[in-house]
Structure 1
Amino acid sequence: MKNVLSFLFIFLLISCNSNGKRPLLGETEYQQKLNASYKDATTSPLKKKDLKNFNGLDFFAVDSNFIVTANLTRIENAPVFEMATTTDRKPLYKEYGLLSFNINGQDLELTIYQSQDDLRDEKYKDYLFLPFTDNTSGNESYGGGRYMDVMITDIKDDNTIELNFNNTYNPYCAYNDDYSCPLTPRKNHLDIEIKAGIKAFKKN
């Protein structure tokens, strides 16, 4: 009996976090990683008062209808331009290509961008930037739009790529006005409700 009680005690110690932390919420690995990043004070964009009460971001229910295959048409010799932001900062971008896809029978198109600053960073040189707004923007989702990261290395030989709108995130400005965030270009508005991915953040 003594051995059984000792085993149970050790099991409880292992099972419970010594700091009393609860497991982070999230239906998918992507959601759990994003929540972990926002919970960590060293990586979180949240203000101190919001971080103190943070229990997880709000997401739409995961929906496979918003995982689509897009056809990429590259834009050759696109000029470098200054992208507008929420501040006076003007980061340099190029239009990388046009993404054509279909959601629920509706043909849609988005322009995908390449940060010229990221090209100089080995960690981010293969990242492409996909900002968009949709008919949930300003209501269920953040008014300034949402972002999706796409990797050049994920583009297939036939110039198709998977877009998973369940794996979207808000610009840091949705959480904290101290940040400078690119504004979604008007051409990247989708005339459809994208009820997938991150929702608007409710500040304390």
Structure 2
Amino acid sequence: MRSLLLSALLLGLTCTAAQADPRQDWDGFRAAMTQQASGPTGMYAIQDATVIAANGAAHLPAAQKPADARWAKDAGDQGDVRVSYRNGQALIEGPGIAAVDLLKAKEQQHTLPNGLIVRATIYENSIKTWLYNPARVAQHYKGLSFFPYDPKGVVKATFTRKDKPVGLSHLDSRNHTGLMYWIGDVELPLQGKTYTLRAFNKGQDWNKLNHLLMFVTDKTSKKTTYGGGRSLEVHFPPGQPPKTLEVNLNTMYSFLCAHSDYYNCPINLTTFVPVELRYGEKYPPTGQ
């Protein structure tokens, strides 16, 4: 199983290497995080998720009420909503639904007649099929918390790329094994010392890579920030990582598992930095 931590990338939670205005970057980051949390297919709308292997299927039993709907394995009966994954298509079918390949649909999602939303994300040999109930947002979303913007959190770092990224198997928060590629190291100066953080990506082709990820815990973890760790992204033109990066720590965000148990978050790829990083997203969302 692969981690879905990177779904944040789809909403532009960026820390750009050549960002002209880090404060504006932080404002955009907070807006994107709020959208990622509170939208109709946001983190707090997730009602269920399941993985469908190639040539497999899952269904929503017709007898379930929308608030009780959960995925069940196999294609189910004729009256059920079902998703099958065959020949590279994630086909959704059911009563009142014209057959749709979710992978080609807008935002890879489809709204059911009862208001629930189904979305699919693809991996090498499987898809993860998400079920969203927009009504859950009003019940569960209490807002997000962030440290105040601090210009000291914008630092110049040095990146040393690995010409051949190294695949690392890792355990995730749902007790599955995932694969990330170690693409280089970031030398990050913080509070008078320099710390080395591994940089990761889900891909290994340097012609396509356009960002790096760092997974961090620090002395705020389990206190004012999520104990599992936070992520930090730096973006660059495809295949052209600069040796000097501008890293905006103000855009650090919690592993998405802080907001939903349905995500697969890496638990053994983090780097501990022995200082307080009072930047970015705080946790719990309504605390401190």
Offset, 1:29: 2.3
Higher percent of residues as helix: 1
Q: Which among 157, 163, 173 is matched to residue 76 of structure 1?
A: 163
The residue type paired with residue 36 of structure 1 is: Q
Q: Distance in 1 between matches of 2:283 and 2:173?
A: 17
Check conservation: 2:214, 2:231, Cα contact below 8 A. Answer: yes
Report the equivalent of 2:280: 197
**One-letter code of the match for 1:67?**
V
Q: Could you tell me which of 131, 143, 148 is aligned with 2:227? A: 143
Tell me the number of residue pairs that the alignment of Structure 1 and Structure 2 aligns: 172
Q: 1:179 to 1:157 in 2, by over 3 A?
A: closer
- The change in CA–CA distance for 1:202 and 1:182 in structure 2 (over 3 A counts) is same
Give the counterpart of 1:165 among 235, 249, 254: 249
1:112-150 deviation per Cα after TM superposition (whole angstroms, max 9, x unaligned)? 012138x6xx8xx52322111111011100001101122
Conservation of the 8 A alpha-carbon contact between 1:46 and 1:175: no
Letter in 2 for 1:145: G
Question: How far has the Cα of 1:71 moved from its partner?
Answer: 0.4
1:59 and 2:146 matched? yes
Q: How far does residue 78 in structure 1 lie from its aligned partner after superposition?
A: 4.0
Report Cα offsets for 1:80-110 as digits up to 9, x if no partner: 1212211233222221111112122122221
For the residues of structure 2 that align with 1:134 and 1:154, how far apart are their CA atoms? 30
- 1:154 Cα deviation after fit: 8.7
The CA distance in 1 between the partners of 2:286 and 2:268, in whole Å, is 22
Cα displacement (A) at 1:155: 9.1
Identical amino acids, percent of aligned pairs: 23
1:128 matched to which residue of 2? Answer: 212
Q: TM-score, normalization: structure 2?
A: 0.53
Specify the alignment match of 1:12 in structure 2. none
Contact residue 41 and residue 51 of structure 1 kept, 8 A: no
TM-score by length of 1: 0.72
What's the counterpart of residue 3 of structure 1? none
1:91 aligned partner, one-letter code: G
1:50 and 1:203 map into 2 onto residues whose CA distance is: 15
Structure 2 gaps, min length 5: 1-25, 47-134
1:80-159 equivalences under 5 Å are 80-116=167-203, 125-153=209-237, 159=243
How far apart in 1 are the matches of 2:240 and 2:155? 14
Aligned in 2, Cα 1:82/1:45: closer, same or farther, shift over 3 Å?
A: farther
Once residues 39 and 115 of structure 1 are traced to their aligned partners in structure 2, the CA distance between those partners, rounded to angstroms, is: 26
Q: Secondary structure at the match of 1:36?
A: helix
Asked if 1:182 corresponds to 2:266, the answer is: yes
Corresponding residue number in structure 2 for 1:39:
38
Secondary structure of 2:188's counterpart equals strand
Q: Aligned pair in 2 of structure 1 residues 103, 114: CA closer, same or farther (>3 Å)?
A: same
* Structure 1 stretch displaced more, 95-104 or 148-157: 148-157
